[in-house]
Structure 1
Amino acid sequence: MKLHKVTATAAVTLVLSLTAVGCGSSGDTEMSSSSGKKITIGIKFDQPGIGLKTPDGKYTGFDVDVATYVAKQLGHSAGDIEWKEAKSADRESLLQRGDVDFIAASYSITPERAKKVDFAGPYLLAHQDVLIREDDNSIKKPSDLNNKKLCSVTGSTSAQNVKDRIAPKAQLQEYGGYSECLTGLENGVIDALTTDNSILAGYAAQPEFKGKFKLGGFKMSNENYGIGVQKGSDLKPKINKALEEMVKDGSWAAAVKKNFGPANFKSGPAPKIGVVVS
């Protein structure tokens, strides 16, 4: 975990704050919302249902709920958390530089990534799937994607994987972001959007898309979501213990239902810690 230098000014401020609290000042409320032990956590800022920074500055999604629970088990209240955007391409460098304490950002555990960082978990087993229009009954199995317009985002390998391994006649459509794919799907310009089912479910669960889309229910790959930490960090066993407790007390299942339920997402049981499904 990162260490922060305490300046003389900060020390004086802390003493004055504690004195004020001891005198029963209005600082009681502020102190109750934060233990004063800051922790920096990397999440996605642009994935509804997974990790999203809303226009009013709040943070929502399954990864946010998991990270908040883990932080609490580590001794940090919600007020102690500093959220930092962890874009896919930046995750390893954020950990290696010590810019974050841990990352929960639809972060699939892979052998290549495990050479650079350590992973706690997994805490969710996702699968590559497709999102289609609710009234589309022409795509019932992966091979039905042949001759269909299939969308994914620039830099993603999801659509290419489908074309290479499953539906060679799929017509790939590459857009700049998932929101553009969703607009194309809604307007009939494309027939399906592909990426992890958890990400698709997060979008489909948003109020503005209610009743418009559905998941295909295909399991075209296994994506084991883990919490990334620095190589050799003593946080890994502590986070694993926190994840086990989250499953045990029902908080994990509640977070799945809250964030993915409206999309009829079939998560299956929580993964066993330390077991990566290939």
Structure 2
Amino acid sequence: MHNQTRGRGPARLLRRLVALVAVVACALSMGACGSSSSGDGHVIKIGIKFDQPGVGYKKSGTYEGFDVDVARYIAHKLGYRDDEIVWKEAPSKQREAMLQNGDVDMILASYSITDERKKAVSFAGPYLVAGQDLLVRSDNTDITGPQDLNGKRLCSVTGSTSANTVKKKFANEVQLMEQPSYAECATALFSGIVDAVTTDDIILAGLAANARGKLKLVGAPFTQERYGVGIKKGDTEFAKQINQAIKDMIDDGSWQRAIEENTAGTGYSPNTQYNPPDPTEGEEDD
């Protein structure tokens, strides 16, 4: 060790110079330093769902699902290892606030791109165009679409607009039931309490894959839901980086593999009229 009394001044100056160089390097690098407000070092904080099998699901301390696979691929392209990803639960009602407050750097949580949401946040993507569909028991033959739900019992999650869409547009005599989560809707369906569950097809496919052949997807989507990567409002450069990563994932086959692995055995296939999508969202200020 050098003499601490004599070296204190130069050592302090050297530490300050090193810190300044690190700050400048972080500012100049593209996506290499995570959230500027994190204070956690080289990490990226990503919001996902924790309760959607096949999409975003926390299981025994690990995270899996299509959204998770896409998020992990993007993070790798941005220069982050798996152990530098901080996963955070992103409940639907909290997503905009989490981005605005800097709690996360991006959100992939079955997060549909809408004009209303774009007033508060920006999006990259889309990375998938899903569609609202129906989940029924495997032995059901009389529900082939939303028009068959008059007199039937339909489950959706509390606060979701999916079931109301069915009631308003297709079957005004459907009986609606709400549950706190889609997993609980699936349980109600499995036990015969309801006749069908409705939400986006990729979410239903995940539930079907988790049901060991007891539930099936009707396979007749009747809306288009453009799943985007939520980011802080106006960050066009970040959107461009994310969009390029999504394009790479599609081009190298990882996107298709992620779809197949997370919906195995369900017969689910994204609507080829819209998929794979062309991710250009967020590259210009709204």
Q: TM-score range by the shorter chain?
A: 0.7 to 0.9
Query: What is the 5 A alignment of 1:89-238?
Result: 89-206=93-210, 209-233=211-235, 234-238=237-241
Greater radius of gyration (CA)? 2
Counterpart-to-counterpart distance in 1, 2:62 and 2:70: 15
How far off is 1:4 after superposition? 5.2
Equivalent-residue separation in structure 2 for 1:86 and 1:232 (angstroms)? 20
SS, match of residue 144 in structure 2: coil
Name the structure 1 match of 2:36: 3
Flag the 1:116–1:256 CA change in 2: closer, same or farther, 3 A: same
Shift of 1:180: 2.1
Secondary structure of 1:210's counterpart equals coil
Aligned to 1:44: 49
Distance 2:162 2:261 in 1: 26
Counterparts of 1:175 and 1:5 in 2: how far apart (Å)? 35
> Normalising by structure 1, what TM-score?
0.84
Q: What displacement does 1:255 show?
A: 0.3
Q: Counterpart of 1:271? A: 277
Question: Where in structure 1 are there 5+ consecutive unaligned residues?
Answer: 11-35
Give matches, 1:235-246, under 5 Å. 235-246=238-249
Q: Please give the alpha-carbon distance, in whole angstroms, between the structure 1 residues aligned to 2:221 and 2:206.
A: 17
The one-character-per-residue Cα deviations of 1:164-207 (angstroms, maximum 9, x if unpaired) are 1111111111222222221221111210000111111111111x
Deviation at 1:231, TM superposition (A): 1.1
Number of residue pairs aligned between Structure 1 and Structure 2 = 245
Q: Which amino acid aligns with 1:250?
A: G
Counterpart CA distance in 2 for 1:120 and 1:48 is 23
CA offset digits 1:249-274 (Å, max 9, x no partner): 00000000010122211113311113
RMSD: 1.7
Question: Percent identity at matched positions?
Answer: 51
Equivalent-residue separation in structure 2 for 1:262 and 1:96 (angstroms): 39
Q: Which residue type is aligned with residue 219 of structure 1? A: P
Q: Which segments of 5 or more consecutive residues in structure 2 lack a partner in the other structure? A: 1-33
